[in-house]
Amino acid sequence: MILSALVLGLVLPARGTVADVLDVARPAAIVVLFFLYGARMATGEVWAGLRSWRLQGSMLAATYVAFPVLGLLVQLLPDAVVSAELKTGLLYLSLLPSTVQASVVFTSVARGNVAGAITGATISNVVGIVLTPLLVGVLMVRTSGQAGGNLGGILLQLLLPFAAGQLVQRWIGPWLRAHAHLTRITDRGALVLIAYTSVSEATVSGAWAHVTWVALVALLVVCAAMLATMLALTWSGGARLGLPRGDRIALLMCGSKKSLATGLPMAAVLFTPALAASVALPVIVFHQLQLATCAVIARRLAAQGE
């Protein structure tokens, strides 16, 4: 659906009244998305998982220390290899929280510590609501000078809806978790809307002029190198920390992933429309790559466990 939205935004971008309507619909969708994140997130699960401090600490270190360092190293690549706009997107990618659903599903398939994965991915996303915009404001301004963090937008569209959702979580959270198909519809609908509007605005503004097939291939190679590095680092790091196999699997799956569900809405708030589309492209490419790669790894780990 996201890929279809990207193609539609390229060949049939919104203009005139439709574009005006989407300008209102996108922030509204982001508010609803983050409200539901807060409303369906069971706070008790977070506290229960905090007892495994080595696992949770290593997940946070992989997500918010090792990955950003890797993103900064990518900035050293010459513009002839990866364009400045895509390097900005790769740095933004490195600052995102871990994905929740994919991390938990792949941990389960690989027969790892599912409870630890749920808690770690949840904490990563809760922390990321605050930490990712802060890291964007600090690191991306220094490296590219293009990041336009909007404190008011972050507060009104991300933090306040999430906090409001947490306040009412005790009353509507159980119902939302029992009707997961409804939240899946809102999640996917919001992401598709954000993807289409971002690409559409970039198409109208001419922001895609620099993106060629060669640039896309280079982006795919760099994303693959980043993913391989984090997979190796988290797996070997878990062994050095003496984590049991189940915890190593949870660290591998959570510490190597980045969230598309959080990344696209945040990009729409943090950046100008033209830059948001270029920033979103590496996030989308990495997301598809991490799903395909970790699906294979999870099956192999499960077979080894047997």
pLDDT higher at 157 or 118: 118
Question: What confidence tens digit (pLDDT) does each residue in 35-56 have?
Answer: 887 788 776 655 655 567 888 8
Coil, helix or strand at residue 98? coil
* Predicted confidence band of residue 146 (pLDDT cuts 50, 70, 90): very low
Q: What dihedral do alpha carbons 129, 133, 139, 145 form, nearest 10°?
A: 160
Spans of all domains in the chain? 2-300
Q: In angstroms, rounded to a whole number, what is the distance separating the alpha carbons of residues 78 and 26?
A: 35
* Predicted confidence band of residue 148 (pLDDT cuts 50, 70, 90): very low
Coil, helix or strand at residue 148? coil
- Three-class SS string for 191-212? HHHHHHHHHHHHHHHCHHHHCC
Q: Indicate the pTM of the whole model.
A: 0.76
* Predicted confidence band of residue 224 (pLDDT cuts 50, 70, 90): very high
Stated as kind and residue range, the H or E segment containing 154 is helix 151-154
Instruction: Please check whether residue 117 is in contact with residue 247, taking contact to mean a CB–CB distance below 8 angstroms.
Output: no
Instruction: Please check whether residue 254 is in contact with residue 117, taking contact to mean a CB–CB distance below 8 angstroms.
Output: yes
pLDDT value of residue 61: 96
pLDDT higher at 52 or 129: 129
Instruction: Please check whether residue 264 is in contact with residue 198, taking contact to mean a CB–CB distance below 8 angstroms.
Output: yes
Which CATH number fits the domain 2-300, given the four candidates 3.90.420.10, 1.20.1530.20, 1.20.1080.10, 3.40.50.150?
Answer: 1.20.1530.20
* Predicted confidence band of residue 149 (pLDDT cuts 50, 70, 90): very low
